Structure 1
Amino acid sequence: MKYLMQILLGLILLQLLQSCDYSKSRDVLWMKNNFENNAELFFDVTNLFNNSIPINLKKENYVNFNINDKNNSVDIIIISKKVINGERVTQKANSQRLDNKNFNLLLKNLGWNYSKVDSIRNMLQRIKCNTIRTVDYKYFDIEIYDSSNLSYSYLHLKDSIEYHNIITISNNSKYGNLFSISL
């Protein structure tokens, strides 16, 4: 009986492993190739996102833009960099909600319109990612990733960084030295 259970569990495990979709697995080589095939789009979406956030808002907050795959809506999240009483003030809104009052308010705070949201969304989808956000990493200011693969992300170098100290994605494109992959 014990061996029968082990065999049965082994068969179930084997069936589960076979049903996994490994085509979605994204390793560093896939990410490098994805970048090289879409380098200009990575550059464009980074510039559109980063340059359209007001400087004062960017100094005091993090801004996240996420495509919600369930309903193809967009989540915009503004998170204060300041911690007050152990918490950060967070403003979040979704474009799909029936009452878009909060979403429209966030767009107004950012100085954005629906056209800009659609442009960022379309570019992210074309580079096979669903999230772009501002960060305060030592060498990087923007992070781009696909939330189904949190093992790696694309990182955009800050303007003031000396590139010779950073391992960048590619020298094969004119934008390759502006991005790195997180490991």
Structure 2
Amino acid sequence: FGAGNPSLYGIADYDAIISSVKADPELAPLLAVVTGKLQLGGVAGNFAAGVSRTVMGSGLVVQDQNQMRLWNDYNFPFMLAPLPLAGTSADSAVIGFGVARVLQLCGPLQVDNCPGGTVAPTAAGSSPAADIAAPDDIAALSAQEAQAPTAAAGATQIELLAATARGTPNVARLKVVKAEQQGAKELDDIFIALHLGQAQRL
């Protein structure tokens, strides 16, 4: 029921619907952009630092979103820059400033006004998170991700844990290409944008 059954809110065959709307002789002249979008909630983590936080993600068609960001019929003085996901790999993501601060990614993402201090390593040289036993299903998912090919050296990575439409957990390792200010702290603290295909796989 409700948020407990998100599949009820999905639109099946949305590509066919978009094509039909674009081809309609009455509607087509009135349209600027018709695009798909998938919203999901989850937990973003920087396991290397032993930190995580809840986030609200948006799976987007980047080219369409950038076209929508050009709309400014009311001459608002603040114009949105193009979404930094343009031209990036399928596993790329953009996060809000607040998410970057909590996940201790201010340095690599060049975010100002971050709290000082770093996570102290344990005697074995690992982060505190490594000494905390994770549930079996989460540990198995993390192990699968660890066996996947790693990103290029210097890439800023996070893990995003989300529930599928049937409630089972799924995890993806994402390459954060930029932190982007959202204009409101409430959004900055939860924002993550990723490619639509990646969101659908999650």
* TM-score by shorter chain over 0.5: no
Higher helix share: 1
Quick check: which has more Rg, 1 or 2?
Answer: 1
TM-score tier by shorter-chain length is: under 0.3
Relative CO higher for 1 or 2, CA cutoff 8 Å, sep ≥ 6? 2
TM-score (norm: length of structure 1): 0.25
